[in-house]
Structure 1
Amino acid sequence: MQQSSPIGIFDSGYGGLTVFRSIAEKLPQYDYIYLGDNARSPYGDHSFETIYRYTLECVEWLFSKGCKLVILACNTASAKALRTIQQKNLPTKYPDRRVLGVIRPTAEVIGSYTTSKQVGVMGTRGTVNSKSYLLEINKFFPDIKVHQQACPMWVPLIENNEHLQSGADFFVNEYCNALLAQADDIDCVLLACTHYPLLLPKLKASLPDYINILTQGEIVAASLVDYLDRHPGIDSQLAKTGFKSFYTSGDTNAFDEHASIFFGENLKSAKM
C-alpha cells in the first residue's frame, strides 16, 4: 500500500453518511473520501448483476482517487456485490486493496441485543431478497431466528425529505406491523439500511418500548477500529490529516442540500 491513502466510503446515495458520521467521530484523524452514486440510486430494486456492476464501478473510482481501503456503507451493495468483489476482482486486479461491508460487523454482535433470540431485519427489497442477514447471523448465532421485512417506501420518503412528515406515518406503521406479525416475541429490530436512522423518532413511536432498535453506524465504526488494530500494516499507510472530501455522481447542489441532514453538518461536494 502506498503512503497517504484516504479511506473510501461508498453508498448508493445519502444513507452511508450516517455510517461515515459515526466513523469520523470515532476515527477523526484519518482522511476520507465519500462517494454517493446519487445519479443511479436507490439500488434496492435493481438486480444482483446491476448492483454489482454499479458498485464495482464506484469502488474502482475510489481506487483511482488513491483509496486502498473502501467501506461499502450500503447494505444493498454489501449484500449483492461485496463477496464477488472480494473473491473475484480484488485477487486478480487489486491484490493490495481491501473492501469491507456493513453486514458482517452487524451480524457478529447482534446476539448481544436480543434475549428472546427473535430478531427483526428491516431493509430494502434487495437486502431482504439476498438473505445475507439470514446467512451471516446464522454463522455467528445459529439459535437466533431472523424475521425480515422489506420497506420499499422508506428510502424515497427520506431522500425527498418527507420522512418526518405525517404522511410517512402510514408506511412506517405498515411495515412495522407486518414485521411484528411474523412473531410475538421479537425484541430486537435491525435497521438494515443506512437511511433508516432518520426514521428513528417515528420507529420508536411505532414499535413497543421493549424492542431494541439497532442502527449500524456505531457498530461499523467500532468494527473498523478493531480491523485497523488487527492490520497495522494497512493502518500505517493511511493518511491521517483529518481531511474529508465528498463526491456525488448526481447534482452537487442537491447532494449538498440533502447530505447535511444525514451527516449532521454542512458540506460541499464535487462531481464524480
Structure 2
Amino acid sequence: MKKIISWNVNGIRAAETKGLYKWMKEENPDILCLQETKAYPDVLTKKFIEPKGYYSYFASAEKKGYSGVVTYCKEKPLSVNYMGIDEFDSEGRYIELEFPQFTIINTYFPNSQSEGKRLDYKLRFNSAIMGKMNSLRDNGKKVILCGDLNVAHKEIDLANPKTNTKNPGFLPEEREWMDSFINAGYIDVFRFFDPTPGNYTWWSYRTKAREKNIGWRIDYFIITDNLLDEIDNCEILNEVMGSDHCPIRLDL
C-alpha cells in the first residue's frame, strides 16, 4: 500500500507554525504534495527543505510569497519535470515525478479571479495540463494528478451553488472544461468512491464557514483509467486543521 496526500497549505511557513511537520511525521505518507507554499526553499527550516526520510522537489514562483508547489517522496523518482511553459513555470504551478509504478503531477491551478480577470490564463493552463496528461497516457503511463484545481465541478461540490454561478471557481467556462477533462477518460477518484453531498476541501476564513461546513470541494485526485484497479480508497481529511483547505488522501 502507498499513501499519497495532497494539501494546499496556504503558506508552508504559516502551516509550520500550526504543526505541519508534526502532522507529517504522524501521518507518514509515502508521497506528500503541497500547494500554495508561497516560499523558496532557502527561506525554509531544514526540516522542510530535506525532511528526514524524504526527497524533496520544489517549483517556486518568481514572485515572492506567491503560489508554488513541493513534492516530498520516500522513493527517489526516475525523473522530475516541470511544465516547460514559461508563463506557468514562472508561477510554480506544476511539478511531475515519474516512478516505476506511476507518474504523479502535483499542481496548483490558477484562480480565475473576480469578474474572470484571469480566466483566459486559467483556461490556457487547463489546456496545457490536459495536453500533458494525454501525452503521458498515450505513452502508456499510469498518471495521478493531484492538487488544488480551483474549481467546484458540480453543484454537489459546493454548499451554495445557486449564489456562486458568477464567482471564480464556479464559472460556466471552468466547469465546462472540467466536464471535458472527465469526459476525456479521466477519473475524479473521490467521486468514484463517494457520491454524497457535504464533502468539501476548502472553506472561507470569513463567517465561520468551516464550523458550518459551508465549503467547496476544489482539491482533487484525478487518475488515468488504467490505474483505477490499483486504487484502494480516496478520502477527504476534513478534521485536519492548519489551512483554509484540508488534505486529501489516496491509497494505492
Does TM, normalized by the shorter one, top 0.5?
no
Query: Quick check: which one's helix share is greater?
Result: 1
- Bigger CA radius of gyration: 1
Larger RCO of the pair (alpha carbons < 8 Å, separation 6+): 1
Query: Quick check: which one's strand share is greater?
Result: 2
Instruction: State TM-score, norm by structure 2.
Output: 0.37
